[in-house]
A = this chain, B = another copy of it.
Amino acid sequence: MSSSGPEPSVFRQRVRRGQFSGPTGGVCPGYAQANLVAVPREHSSDFLTFCARNPRACPVIDVTDPGDPTPSWAAPSADLRTDLPSYRVYRGGRLAEERESVESLWRPDLVSVLLGCSFTFERALAAAGVPLRHLQLGLTVPMYVTGLAARPAGPFSGPVVATMRSIPEPLVSRAVVVTSRFPRAHGAPIHIGDPASIGVGSLEAPDFGDPVPVKPGEVPVFWACGVTTQMALAQSGVDLAITHSPGHLFVTDLLDEELSGV
């Protein structure tokens, strides 16, 4: 799989030069993509604690030194200030702007945390013959704010956000087994079946992403989602936080398989 696209370093160069600013789904297949959350060092211990307490939603792949824009394990040639196609900037807990570079905003106290992403396990599901209808239809996976509370840490708290994939009933077990292999990319589902039991009302009205119908013979299956961190940031009121824009992730040098706990 890793031979069917550009090397991650080549792709990141394109992004850095402003030659790519779209969503990253499908680029550099075989390589893991990551959520970015950069917070001031003042808050990094609490944020890392929040991640440790919510490992399904917030599986940490790598952490930078304060001010260092390079994730030395996940992508030693990268610059996190320029190598994502789109960023979100939160100020005082509010989404202040979206932009294609955060070089001019960078601070020596920013600690960047990279978190595994569902693209990794979606590729494994597809390889295992589990159909993913949102991809077939060219839609964004539907995301729901659940009634489950994330375990808070310091200023970070909020609900668990979950993605939903509608899985044919005979393949539900396979979907669990396949995704459980990737604990550093959200792992096994957090819920199978009745949305109401995790506080999700209408599947037709996702909080983020596109609605995808659950057909007869299919079961809604929910995985914890990295948007959990964005909601926690928004509620935290921290003076500055920088994240990827939804769908515009950081492409690492790590193979998807390296997020399998291997």
Chain A residues proximal to chain B, CB less than 8 Å: 41, 44-45, 48-49, 52-53, 60-63, 65, 72-73, 111, 113, 151, 153-154, 180, 183-184, 187-188, 261-262
Contact = CB atoms under 8 A, between A and B. Distances in A.
B45 A52 contact: no
A239 to B, nearest CB: 16
A45 B43 CA distance: 9
Contacts of A151: 72-73
Given A261-B261, A262-B188, A53 B63 contact: yes
Nearest to A71: B53
B49 A180 contact: no
A187 B261 contact: yes
A180 B73 contact: no
Nearest to A44: B45
Contacts of A72: 151
Contact of A183 (B53, B60, B61, B261): B261
Nearest to A64: B49
Contacts of A44: 45, 49
A226 to B, nearest CB: 16
Contacts of A45: 41, 44-45, 48, 111
Given A41-B45, A45-B111, A180-B261, A62 B73 contact: no
A189 to B, nearest CB: 11
A153 B52 contact: no
A136 B261 CA distance: 29
